[in-house]
Amino acid sequence: MEPASDNVTRLLRAAGEGDLQAENDLLRAVYAELRQMAQAWMARTPPGQTLQATALVHEAFVRMTGRDKDGWENRAHFFFAASRAMRDILVERARAKAAVKRGGGRHRVDLDKLSLATEAPDEDLLALDGALRRFEAHYPWEHRIVMLRFFAGMTNEETAQAMATPLRTIERDWRFARAWLRDALITESDDT
């Protein structure tokens, strides 16, 4: 029997070559993990969110298979792309909601309150997205860790395994990323 990660990698390659059956098989193979990622995020969103985890998974998968599917190198890269797609969807929804409800205004964001276990108001998500975009430009490796930890809801151990990196490296880079983002968010809120 083929290991799950090898099966996903094989399906990724076939889907990248345009095999529609492989694309369908890929969704079945990773659906539970994608749904778990989406549920973890949805559990942290403010009350009143109309998007359901299932819809988030399907919208993210449709986006991912509509572009860049030939660029997936392996399972970790695929889940990073899934994290990014989910983040983009949530940010787009937050922007639309903030534009309508809040007039697009900004306010101070406390990164400590924006932990994995708390709710993130739409304005906080938008501020975080801006900081993440700047962070990615300077620290792409650490940005991938943030995407897997924060948006995919992976633990340090899961992130280390997905990125084939020692746990201590992930822990160190995760601390650095959190500190950098905290400083960026504080600076941004002081400027507004």
* pLDDT per residue of the chain (192 residues) written in tens, 0 to 9: 556 667 888 888 888 787 889 888 988 888 888 888 888 777 766 666 677 888 888 888 888 877 655 567 777 788 888 888 888 888 888 777 766 555 445 555 555 455 443 344 566 777 878 888 999 999 999 999 988 887 777 889 988 988 889 999 999 999 999 999 888 888 866 665
pLDDT for 101: 55
pLDDT for 38: 85
CA 18 to chain CA centroid, Å, is 25
Q: Is the pTM of this model over 0.75?
A: no
Cα–Cα distances in angstroms (integers) from residue 22 to residues 11, 13, 26, 28, 77, in the given order: 5, 9, 6, 10, 17
pLDDT for 107: 52
Name the token pair of 54. 């299932």
pLDDT for 109: 54
Name the token pair of 111. 């990164």
> Which residue segment(s) compose the domain that 63 sits in?
4-191
pLDDT for 124: 72
129 sits in which H/E element: helix 122-138
pLDDT for 62: 84
pLDDT for 8: 82
How far is it, in rounded angstroms, from Cα 179 to Cα 175?
6
* Total tally of structural domains belonging to the chain: 1
- 132 within 8 A of 177, measured Cβ to Cβ: no
Beta strands in 71-146 (DSSP E): none
φ and ψ of 166, to 5 deg: -60, 145
- 26 within 8 A of 11, measured Cβ to Cβ: yes
